[in-house]
Amino acid sequence: MNKNIKNKLSTALVLLALTSLGACHKGASHANTQAAETNTIEAQVLTKYPAIDIEMEAKKLAPHTYQIQGKAGIATDNGGFISNAGFVVTDEGVVVVDSLGSPPLAVEMLKRIRKVTDKPIKKLIITHYHADHLYGAQVFQELGAEIIAPIGSMKYVNADSAPARLAERRESLKPWVNEQTYIVKPDTIISETTNFSLGGQDFTINVVGAAHSDGDLTLLAHKDSVLFSGDIIFGGRIPFIGGGSTSKWIDTLAGMESGLKLKLLVPGHGDASNDPAAAIKLTKGYLVFMREVMGNAVEEMEEFVDAYEDTDWSKYEKMPAFSSVNRLNANTVFLSMEEESVE
C-alpha cells in the first residue's frame, strides 16, 4: 500500500473516531440533560403539596417487590391512608401499583421509593378507580409515568358522582385533598389479559371486570411471584363492597383459588400473605355469606333492618373494619339482590 493511501486511511480513521466521540458526548450530554430535567421535576413535585405527618413504611416482600400498607378504617381515617399500594424495582425503572388516597400520600410513597432506588418511575398501574387508590395518581403522572387502568375506569371518571366525591374529600381530607387535586385519566386502558416486560422482568395484567368496582385488574410480577390483587381481595379484615357485582366477584375468586400458584399476595387492604389461598378464602367466604343471608331476606320479603338484626355476625364481628363497613355492605347486597330478584 503506498504512502498516500496510508495517510488517507489514517486521516479517515481519526475523523471517524472523533465523530464517534462527538456522538457519544452528544448522547451523554442529552441523557444528562434529561436526567437533570427529571430531577428538577421530581424536586418540584416533592415540595408542591401540603405536608402530611403519617407513619409509612416500604415493606420488602421479595427481592424486587415492596408493599406500602395503610391502616384499616373508613376513608377519612389516618389522613386517608387506609389502602395498600406497592412497587416493583426493575433494571430500567419502577412499576408502581396504586397511588393511595391523596397527592401528599403519594409524595410520601415516592420518598419511600427513593430510599430503595433512584430509578425512574415508568408505570403506574391503578387496580381500580376508587378514591383511596386513585387520588395520588397525579404525582406519578407529573413524573412522566404511564398511567394504566382497567376497562370500566372511565365509567368512574365520567360519573356524576365523581366530582361530588372529590368535593366531599376536599372537605373531609382537607388540606391534603384540595383544589389542586384532580382525577387522573388513564393513558392506557386494558381490556384483556396483557403481558409486558421492563428491565428484565415480566408482568401480567389480568382484567377481572366489574367485581369490586366498575373495573378491576390484578398485576402479577413473575420474577418474585407476587400478585397485587387490588380490592378483589382484602387481607385479614372485612372487605368493602363497592359498586361492582358480588356474584362476579365470587366467581373471580373461585377461579383464583384453583388457578394461581403464588409465593405472595398483596391485597388492596390489609396484610400481605404468603398463603394466598387463605386470603382468597376469607374474602370469598364473607361475600358468599352476605349474599346468602341477604338473599334469603329478599326472598322472604323481610325488611332490611330486621334481616340485619336477625343475622348472626359472630364469625366476622371481631375482624377489623366490621363496625365501619359491615352494615353498609349488607345494605348494598340487600338492594342489589332485590334488583336481581326482579330481573
Domain residue limits, the chain: 1-48, 52-274
* Contact present, 80 and 102 (Cβ < 8 Å): yes
What's the fold here for domain 52-274?
Metallo-beta-lactamase; Chain A (3.60.15)
- List the chain pLDDT tens, one digit each, 343 residues: 555 555 554 555 544 454 555 555 555 555 456 556 668 889 999 999 999 999 999 999 999 999 999 998 888 899 999 999 999 999 999 999 999 999 999 999 999 999 999 999 999 999 999 999 999 999 999 999 999 999 999 999 999 999 999 999 999 999 999 999 999 999 999 999 999 999 999 999 999 999 999 999 999 999 999 999 999 999 989 999 977 899 999 999 998 887 677 889 999 999 999 988 888 999 999 999 999 999 999 999 999 999 999 999 999 999 988 998 999 999 999 999 999 988 7
Q: Which residues pair with 273 in a beta bridge?
A: 265
Contact predicate 101/132, CB 8 Å: yes
Paired residues of 149 in beta bridges: 189
One-letter-per-residue 3-state SS of 279-296 = HHHHHHHHHHHHHHHHHH
Residues 220, 200: Cα–Cα separation, whole Å: 15
- Residue 8 has what pLDDT? 52
The C-alpha atoms of residue 196 and residue 202 are separated, in whole angstroms, by 6
pLDDT at 262: 82
Task: For residue 153, count other CB atoms closer than 10 A to its CB.
Answer: 25
pLDDT at position 9 is 47
The C-alpha atoms of residue 178 and residue 336 are separated, in whole angstroms, by 33
Which residue bears the cell 436526567? Answer: 35
